[in-house]
Chain A
Amino acid sequence: MTLAIEVEGLVKRFGAHRALDGVDLAVPAGQILGLLGPNGAGKTTMVRVLATLLRPDAGRARVFGYDVVEEPHQVRRCIALTGQFASVDGNISGRENLYLIARLLGVPARRARSEATGMLERFRLAEAGGKPAREYSGGMRRRLDLAASLMGEPRLIYLDEPTTGLDPHSRNELWAMVKERALAGATVLLTTQYMEEAEALADSAVVVDKGRVIAAGTAADLRARVGGRTLEIRPAHPRDLAALAGSLALEGLDGRIDQETCVVRLPLVEPDELTRAVRAVTASAVEVLAVDTRVASLDEAFIELTRSTA
């Protein structure tokens, strides 16, 4: 199995702050990997290191076997980057933006023209193709940015939060486009803050927080890891929250107090945990308003994962 991305112990510091703090990652060729994490987790930093835009301080990163520090040119021949913020040139037309990329990649002038036109059509920009890109809407700019990065049929595509600012229609289109590329053999590294997006697209997902990988697996794996189901116990008085959590602890259960919504929340993993929890609640003699079990949404799973490292 060829590895498209291979990262070992990657560290990137900004001053005293460690944006990446020892990241390991392996992405097999042809896969779509979702890189998940909250704001400031280090997703963009990770992508920038892998795109040869930032030098790591320690560890190593290889793209199709090429080291990002030692052989940046070879790495650049494999990759395409769609950054978190659209990087199109607003002063020239969409068509010229694409033509420039094609020419830089060595495509002869005439073919570069027709490729640019083809891309504009595929991304529903044919009509606006001649207008300066600064007159495009946010979504159009994003599509142009994506078109620009797909110009050279790259082997490995980095998409940094590609769907922020897209309407649902454009988002579905982008998802379809990404899947199509993967079917054609490309590897995709996609950063996102939404589990839903990772589940829709990615073969597997890696969750980072504070520069570290805190979980990895398929979206379904991650959901299972945070329990899948959650028990929520709501006492009549907020002051009883601690007592409830205490008696759960006596049963060996790790309930988490949520002051805001006034519930104690307990991820249910083992089959007998529900019975033990009910027993604990009865034993505590706390007046309880409600006991509910809920299936955790993926986003809750995500919040749960990132909170546990706090």
Chain B
Amino acid sequence: MTPTTDSAPTVGVPPLAGSARNGPRDVVRQSLALARRNMLQLRGDPGQLLDSVVMPMVFTLIFLYVFGGAIWGDRPGDYRQFLLPGIMVQTLMFASRSTGYLLAVDFDNGVMDRLRSLPIARSAVLTGRIVADMSRLLLGQVVMLLFALAIGFRVETNVLLAVAALLLTLLYGTALAWVSAFIGLTIRSPNTVQSVGFLWMIPLQFGSSMLVPTSTMPGWLRVFAEANPTTLVTDACRNLLAGGPIAGPVLGTVLWSVGLMCFAVPLAISRYRRR
């Protein structure tokens, strides 16, 4: 142990708060305390859940029963088996936007001023946010899977692969959450963060195999769609749940997610430090 110079009590002056330097254990404790607060926030504001779980359910019903016939035509198999993994990915993508939004809200209402004037590790605030958001994403995925099963989706593989599907989508969602964090820390107004978070994902979502097979797309779009990480993660999720080739899309998803995080994490951290 290194001796701390500030332990000598000056009469009448309260001791310094926190530790002289934040060690790994301090950072973990601080991150978990903040993650806990972020999770409680979810309970205090159920609207957040509504947005991230109920909306995709409504979306599913519309796609399945309104557009389903037109989209699927007389292809072999069931559109249900195709659509529901896609919806799971969509749920995840929408839910990942909250990371940036909630960070912007914390800056907006002064909570961040308090946190930034406390002797805590800078990284704890972002880590606490991401940890809470990962739990939220996973919760959303589990709820969506149960919903899918309830409306007739069948897992044609096994439990192990189904769990792998959840973890893989969670990885992609975490990468997107970091991008969202970067957006939220760059743009100040929470409402703008919300819109930008929505806009940049539109090509990513709709130029993919998420809702429709890519085979009917014009050539140029198909090129985009097939390189799109959303297509990869959707295919991976689909094949892990309903059978089909796994290695290619899984590897592609992992590479894309890790690659995205290699950019988004340092960018978000440097943004956070500079504000």
Q: Interface on A for B, CB 8 Å cutoff?
A: 2, 29-30, 48, 51-53, 73-74, 76-81, 83, 85-93, 96, 100-101, 103-106, 132, 134, 148-149, 152-155, 184-186
Is B13 a contact of A152 with CB atoms below 8 Å?
A: no
Chain B 32-49, CB-CB to A under 8 Å as 1, else 0, gives 011011001100110000
Interface centre among A74, A79, A104, A132 (most CB of B within 10 A): A104
**Cα distance A309–B172 when bound, in Å?**
59
Interface centre among A78, A92, A96, A186 (most CB of B within 10 A): A92
Distance of B134 from chain A, by nearest CB (Å): 19
**Cα distance A259–B169 when bound, in Å?**
73
Is B21 a contact of A77 with CB atoms below 8 Å?
A: no
Is A83 a contact of B40 with CB atoms below 8 Å?
A: no
Chain A residues near B33: list those with CB within 8 A: 100, 103-104
**Cα distance A85–B114 when bound, in Å?**
11
Chain B residues near A101: list those with CB within 8 A: 114, 118
Interface centre among A52, A100, A134 (most CB of B within 10 A): A100
Q: Determine chain B's interface SS by DSSP, over half rule.
A: loop
Q: In the complex, which of the residues B29, B34, B40 contacts A106, with contact meaning CB atoms closer than 8 Å?
A: B29
**Cα distance A132–B42 when bound, in Å?**
12
**Cα distance A30–B14 when bound, in Å?**
10
Q: Determine chain A's interface SS by DSSP, over half rule.
A: loop
Q: In the complex, which of the residues A2, A51, A134, A185 contacts B117, with contact meaning CB atoms closer than 8 Å?
A: A51
- Provided the pairs A52-B117, A83-B113, A104-B34 are in contact, do residues A155 and B13 lie with their beta carbons within 8 angstroms? yes
Residue of B nearest to A52 (CB): B117
Is B119 a contact of A76 with CB atoms below 8 Å?
A: yes
Is A76 a contact of B45 with CB atoms below 8 Å?
A: no
Chain A residues near B37: list those with CB within 8 A: 89, 92, 96, 100
A-B contact pairs, 27 of them (CB 8 A): A2-B13, A53-B113, A53-B117, A73-B21, A76-B120, A77-B119, A78-B17, A83-B114, A89-B111, A90-B109, A92-B44, A100-B33, A100-B34, A100-B36, A100-B37, A101-B114, A103-B33, A104-B33, A104-B34, A105-B18, A132-B44, A152-B17, A154-B17, A155-B13, A184-B12, A185-B11, A186-B14
Q: Could you list 20 further interchain pairs (A-B, Cβ under 8 angstroms) beyond the known A77-B18, A104-B118, A154-B17?
A: A29-B13, A30-B12, A53-B117, A73-B22, A76-B117, A76-B120, A77-B16, A77-B119, A78-B16, A86-B110, A89-B37, A89-B109, A92-B44, A100-B37, A104-B115, A104-B120, A106-B26, A106-B29, A153-B17, A184-B14
